[in-house]
Chains A and B, each alone.
Chain A
């Protein structure tokens, strides 16, 4: 049902299904689906071995627009469905697409456990800090005071920080990107894909209808350079339009401070993506006092859940190579009449 373009190499278009996209015009999701299609083409992944699994919400429509296998499931449960898929056929390349309500409200428990188990999937969180599909209620990532149909006088609960949550849950890979920064997003997606284990990617996604410009404080082109820091493993934590500002540890405190280069740049920290404490400190940075940290904040691979299961299964089969159901029924105490 999906025509393959001539030639060996698939183009981003070959990863797009024939379905008309039904997100609102101007939605950040368009940029993300395009970036994912380009990433898959760059990686030349096999469409038949790729599965996109989603829950419910605007973001969860995503699988319908991909020319791979796709399963649009129920609210919050995509990580659990993905677990069954991956454990049954570990050859499949499984992506979970979720939004902030899907992943952190109704599905918070499943996200926690899929991360701690370190199932080998890519988990893309489209964070727009609002419920879109149900028409604009505040979400678990909405900032305090958010006015919405369900909080006309402003929300009074404090938001969950997805990146800190992921680290707390035991994620071994944490990255962040912005929907419209396509090249950077593609680079982050490639890193996530290469990581064996649960790769958690928070994508700041603009909801043009219900929460427009909520991330403008660090994504608007006028401020982006000074309000973002793109971290890279082994490179100093430098940012700013002039690339002249950096992060260093404040003296005598476990906290960052912004330093200007030329005024003691020797103290600027070098990013170590295997350092979980550093990752947590980066994840907690927030504008305007600090830049928003983007890129691969943390990557420290460990054995994935599916690999550990496969090892146990292989061991069990090696111990009992002639497993036979009839023999199973007859083991233990039997008698003949």
Chain B
């Protein structure tokens, strides 16, 4: 996957997470995988369509998911499972939306699909046979948010 798709995700995720969770995230070691895959317990997936096609998975441990939910819901909201799942989906949606705007500035007009939650480890998305890049963001006090980005340009996607 081309590096030019990576920077919008790194900066977009840092901006959104920084604002929503009020932390300064730091970037961990990037890694490549032959296809999109997550070994995390709690995952939010979001599709990208338009000039780029592919999938993003935001993966985290249950502990991190709980800590993020607690922060997002605050004291004003009575927590329940549905609201917690919705908050985490919305975090994925906001990161994807912000990244999509950055991709637009880089010359790629994209849309995003509504997020889906997958709970359970060792999930791979078999229909998407595009190499993935893993971007780990360390969120002090929350844990690690692992962003799996698997994208390719539309012309290539159509030909495949």
Tell whether A and B belong to one assembly: no
